[in-house]
Structure 1
Amino acid sequence: MKIIPLLFFALFSNMCFSQVLVKSEHSVKKGMAESNQFPKTCTDECSFLLYLDVAKLHFDEEFASGAYILVFNTVEGKSISFGVQANVETQEAELVVLHNDENTNPEPILLAKSALNTWEGFNISWEGKNLLFENLRSVKKIGYNSTPYSSLESSGITYETELDFVPEGFGYMFMSSDVELWIDIESQNYNEEWRPVDNGN
């Protein structure tokens, strides 16, 4: 895993706000997996915003291939994951959600088609057991003096559910994939210790 400590990006959106994004790069070989969990300081109400840019998936039946964001409870062995995975039948990338139980092999819920080398935004929040996911995608636009730019906006794809567990935190699981993970440390209350990075520390 290669981590670039801090990159500042001015990203245009429908509200034209700036974001402070921390980027990490991951290249996971075929048949392998990489996972990590992030400690939290939030209590009952938690929210975070991040993006996945998946550059490579493997479209064969031998190994599962995908990049997922997990909200989990380790004590109960349960989690819910949102991500981009390879569909070996259609040979396409898909945006999916999975309700995971350590004793079952969950069927993915298809939210939309996705694509490689495309930003997928994950705006996730929960209060107690109520969880909401909102997808953001890059929209190409023409600005002042015919200048093209990209706007990260809500795609209209959402998923809301009442979990059967209380979330302990979130992390990621990358399997047989090359992916960039961008965490917005400005638009989150998940971990307050991330915020001093925004102030130049």
Structure 2
Amino acid sequence: MAPVIWGLDLKEMQWYKFGNSYMWKNRDYHLRRTKFIIYQCALIFCVVSESLGTAALSDYVDSQKFVKRLDRRIYVYNNDYIAVASYNIFAGVFVAFIFGAAFFFDLFWPERRENKAVRTAWKVCGVLACVFYCADAFALTIITATQCQYFRGDGFTREYAESLLRQFKKDGGTPLCYRNNGRAIAAVVFCWPGFLSVIAR
């Protein structure tokens, strides 16, 4: 006999519930298909944005270290992008955690009865997901569109520093302005439909 945890019967966790007939064709529950579509859109778009932003972040950190190894006088300042991409990871993980949990709860236990505290917790988490991802979408867009990395230090010319940065070839290098980085732009592009999906849910 399967255990019952928090009033949820674990025997309801069945593989067949991932099937088309149960997940998409079942009309027994209000807005079931719509919910699953929005859950999956939010999860996919947010995670793809997070992954692309992480790839760009990794390149900027590596290019910073690369230039520092070539000439210790030069510090490539790209901390604004590193910070916003790090926040993008946090926002994406938060959405994935909350919406992933909601997806599985609605899939396995659509008829569950939740007390007032649990319903309030779902609402609070939903509002926080909207706030966190709204801040993420705007910050990521503004920094990617308007900011550029630059060089700090003394005793070198900008042209010399740029020549060192151009030697960093991983993933096509790191352009001075973030808007010229394909991965950074793609992270922004996927961030907005993710945000709209979070709002819709």
**Given the two structures, how large is their TM-score scaled by the length of structure 1?**
0.25
TM-score normalised by length of structure 2: 0.25
Structure with more strand by fraction = 1
Whose helix proportion is higher, 1 or 2?
2
